[in-house]
Chains A and B, each alone.
Chain A
Amino acid sequence: MLSSLFLVATIATEHGEEAASGITKIMGDFGINVPNIAAQTLSFAIVMFVLWLFAFKPVLATLDERQKKISDGLKYAEETQIRLAAAAQESAAIIKTAQLDAQKAIEEARKAAKEFGDKQQAEAIQRAADLLTKAQQSIELEHKKMLDQARSEIARLVVTTTERVLAKKLTDADRAAYNEAATKELSAL
């Protein structure tokens, strides 16, 4: 704008007196004073420079910095979102793997429990069989013991009865004859 005004002023100077007088008249009618305008233009330029140097420039720098921060933040947010998505995908995969592992562990536990139960059942059956065998052996032993006792008792009764019968039936002649035989037997030892 200033350059346009200067250009206008230069053109007016260069175009002769008529034009100058006309323009001067118009400028006078409108209250335009060239030195004032130049001074105002200069002061305006100085103010503009000062403002640009101490106000606009820091503000623009701050705006650029904030813009950069916002951009970085958005970029970081996007990266974070991408990472979040990746993490979610990874966690989903981990959860799926964990579910598979858990399922596998459950299956193994069921299998182990079934094997343990089968083993316990087999052991219980074996114990029952052992107990039965021992009981049968005990019964057989008791039976044999009872038979032995009965045999011994019967033999004892037979001997006792025989002794009583012989004590009554043997005569002195029988005893003397037996004593002779016993003497021969003892002498031959």
Chain B
Amino acid sequence: MAVDKQTKLLAKQLFKLSLVHGVVSPEQVAGVLGWVEKTSPHRPVALLKAYHHRIAIELAKSRAVVEHAGPVSDATLRQIEAAMTNRYQRPVTASTKSNPALLAGLRVRVGSDIYESSVAGQLASLAV
């Protein structure tokens, strides 16, 4: 079902209300959900889907998924978190995900951005 323009605009406004200093605030999100439940706006399901989509994108920007092959120490994760926090100017938390296809090295995904330094990546660049 296509989302109409009015619902998109309302979802965008609710999303802006959910941010505190550029970071998604759980309290603000709870307040927004309470308001939606209380007032029951036009097409609430479509509104909540659009709102959820925006919140998920924003949360993904604050989360770094570190794909790795081989062991990764906590110090390495903290170093990556610090680098990404510095880069995006927002708190970024790192989580790990094993990926043996990388052979060795790391691939960091923050939102739609990908940073990679791996043996598989370097070999793939040779094959092109």
Contact = CB atoms under 8 A, between A and B. Distances in A.
Given A155-B126, A163-B123, A175-B70, A182 B118 contact: yes
B81 to A, nearest CB: 10
B80 interface: yes
Given A172-B70, A179-B68, A180-B76, A186 B106 contact: yes
Interface string A159-189: 1001100110010101110111111011101
A179 B117 CA distance: 8
A104 interface: no
Interface stretch (B17-25, B31-39, B97-105): B97-105
A152 interface: yes
A167 B100 contact: yes
A159 B103 CA distance: 12
A152 B68 CA distance: 27
Interface in B49-92: 68-73, 76, 79-80, 82-83, 87
Interface of B: 68-73, 76, 79-80, 82-83, 87, 100, 103-106, 108, 115, 117-120, 123-124, 126-127
22 contacts: A155-B127, A156-B127, A159-B123, A159-B127, A163-B103, A163-B120, A166-B119, A170-B70, A170-B104, A172-B70, A175-B69, A175-B70, A178-B105, A178-B119, A182-B105, A182-B118, A183-B79, A183-B80, A183-B106, A185-B117, A186-B108, A189-B115
Interface of A: 152, 155-156, 158-159, 162-163, 166-167, 170, 172, 174-176, 178-183, 185-187, 189
Given A170-B70, A176-B71, 11 more contacts: A170-B119, A175-B104, A176-B72, A178-B70, A179-B70, A179-B104, A180-B76, A182-B118, A183-B106, A186-B80, A186-B115
